[in-house]
Amino acid sequence: MKKLIQKLAINLLRHTSQRYGVITKIPSSQQETDEVPTPTRNEDNAPANDNSALNNDTPELRKTSLQRVHETISHCRKCPLAEHRKNTVPGHGSLDARVFVIGEAPGMAEDKEGVPFVGASGQYLNKWLATIPLNRERDVFITNIAKCRPPQNRNPSATEVQACIGYLHEQITLVQPDVIFVLGRVAAHAILDTGASLRELRTHIHRYNDRIPLLVSYHPSAVLRDPSLRRPVWNDLQMLKELL
Ligand code: URA
């Protein structure tokens, strides 16, 4: 009887961690402090930075494949966002990026230039990255859940996310980042397939494909509107630094 209960408990735990991909919870005593949280690692899982099994192609092949994905995006008409765009905004950064940043969708400046995070939130994001210190061109690949601007900067709809998210999965597979850093609720819900609040999603190390560490933080535009979010973001950035 005792054995049966143990077995049921193990199966329940396994199911929960597979479904939600949440591997490590930072103890509440470490949340929202100035101290750098030291994430612990679940020994049953692959080392944090070993995502080599995702893609074994040569750098040249990966580069060509990424160009091909971006070329496909430039012709994409899978959802109504194609009607209104000036440019597609596939993503920008290094193929050897250690950090893969995911935002929500392009805004007006990004739609005009075809490059993600070039407006006010982008300038602010650059400052965040510089504090840990990461160089946007060399260390980071930046993209969005949606590759085209939604009209009036509304959130992308569920069907638009569904139509677009395959490109994001291809980009992650080709870039092979050490860590994925997700900005804001809309992006976090799409990539983690959850409806949980940002409060619940932050301060955990999730795993993309059970392998690549993934952190969630606030969107820079939210922090520009609400300076009280600066401290939690600082903590998130320290967590990101610890994972590199
Ligand atoms: N906000 C986003 O989420 N992405 C951008 O590229 C710009 C602003």
Q: What is the CATH number of the domain that holds 116?
A: 3.40.470.10
Looking at residue 56, its pLDDT comes to: 66
pLDDT, tens digit (0-9, with 9 covering 90-100), for 79-107? 999 999 999 999 999 999 999 999 999 99
Looking at residue 55, its pLDDT comes to: 61
Tokens linked to 139: 């260390």
| 176 in any annotated domain | yes
| 208 in any annotated domain | yes
Q: What mean pLDDT is predicted for residues 147-172?
A: 98
| 24 in any annotated domain | no
Looking at residue 178, its pLDDT comes to: 98
Looking at residue 15, its pLDDT comes to: 38
At 160 the three-state DSSP class reads helix
Name which of 149, 76, 85, 139 is nearest 117 in CA terms. Answer: 149
Strand partners, 9: none
Q: Please give the residue that has the higher pLDDT: either 6 or 206.
A: 206
Taking 3-state DSSP, the helix, strand and coil percentages for the chain, each rounded to the nearest 5, stand at: 50, 15, 35
Residue 68 pLDDT > 50, yes or no? yes
Q: Please give the residue that has the higher pLDDT: either 79 or 28.
A: 79
Q: Rounded mean pLDDT of the chain? A: 84
Dihedral of CA atoms 39, 186, 139, 180 in degrees, nearest 10, equals: 40
Looking at residue 66, its pLDDT comes to: 97
| 36 in any annotated domain | no
Looking at residue 57, its pLDDT comes to: 81
Q: Which atom of ligand 1 is nearest to the CA of 142?
A: 6
| 93 in any annotated domain | yes
Across 5-14, 54-63, 205-214, the highest mean pLDDT is recorded for: 205-214
With a 6 A CB cut-off, is 141 part of the ligand 1 pocket? no
Question: Are 149 and 182 spatial neighbours (Cβ–Cβ below 8 Å)?
Answer: no
With a 6 A CB cut-off, is 105 part of the ligand 1 pocket? yes
Candidate of 73, 85, 101, 104 to mutate for ligand 1, largest count of ligand atoms within 8 Å of Cβ: 104
Among the ranges given (18-32, 72-86, 111-125, 193-207), the one the predictor scored with the smallest mean pLDDT: 18-32
pLDDT class of 77 with cuts at 50, 70, 90:
very high
| 111 in any annotated domain | yes
Q: What's the domain count of the chain? A: 1
Residue 85's domain comprises 58-243
Candidate of 112, 144, 219, 221 to mutate for ligand 1, largest count of ligand atoms within 8 Å of Cβ: 144
Tokens linked to 103: 């935002």
Q: What mean pLDDT is predicted for residues 169-190?
A: 98
Looking at residue 225, its pLDDT comes to: 98
| 17 in any annotated domain | no
- Between strands 179-183 and 204-208, the pairing is unpaired
With a 6 A CB cut-off, is 220 part of the ligand 1 pocket? no
Among the ranges given (20-24, 162-166, 211-215), the one the predictor scored with the smallest mean pLDDT: 20-24
Alpha carbon of 47 to ligand 1 centroid (Å): 31
| 19 in any annotated domain | no
